[in-house]
Homo-oligomer: A and B are copies of this chain.
Amino acid sequence: MLNYGDLVFLWSPRKGDSFLLKLSKGAVQGSRLGQLRHDDFVGHDYGDVVRSHSGEAFALLRPTLGEYTRRIKRNTQIVFPKEAGFVLMHLNIGPGSRVVECGTGSGGLTCVFAHFVGDEGHVYTYDRRQEFSELAMRNAERWGVADRISFKVRSLDEGFDERDVDAVFLDLPTPWDYIDKAREALAPGNRIAILVPTFNQIERTLDALRDNHFADPQVLEILLRYLKTDPRRIRPEDMMVGHTGYLIFASKSQEGLYDGVEQRRSRRGEDGAELEETPEA
Contact = CB atoms under 8 A, between A and B. Distances in A.
Interface of A: 9, 11, 13-14, 16, 18, 45-49, 57, 59-62, 64-67, 69, 76-77, 81-82, 84-92, 94-96, 103, 105, 112, 115-119, 171-174, 187-191, 197-204, 206-207, 210, 215-243, 246, 251-254, 256-259, 261, 264-266, 268, 270-273, 275-281
A174 B116 CA distance: 32
Given A47-B252, A57-B256, A197-B233, 10 more contacts: A49-B257, A59-B253, A61-B189, A62-B189, A65-B94, A66-B89, A84-B85, A173-B280, A232-B264, A239-B241
Contacts of A174: 275, 278
A242 B222 contact: no
Nearest to A47: B188
B223 A223 contact: yes
A257 B48 CA distance: 9
B94 A115 contact: yes
A265 B232 CA distance: 6
Contacts of A251: 9, 11, 47, 59, 61-62
B215 A220 contact: no
Given A173-B278, A265-B232, A116 B103 contact: no
Q: How many copies, total?
A: 4
Contacts of A230: 264
A227 B219 contact: yes
Contact of A77 (B89, B228, B256, B280): B280
A131 to B, nearest CB: 13
A261 B57 CA distance: 10
A223 B278 CA distance: 23
B236 A238 contact: no
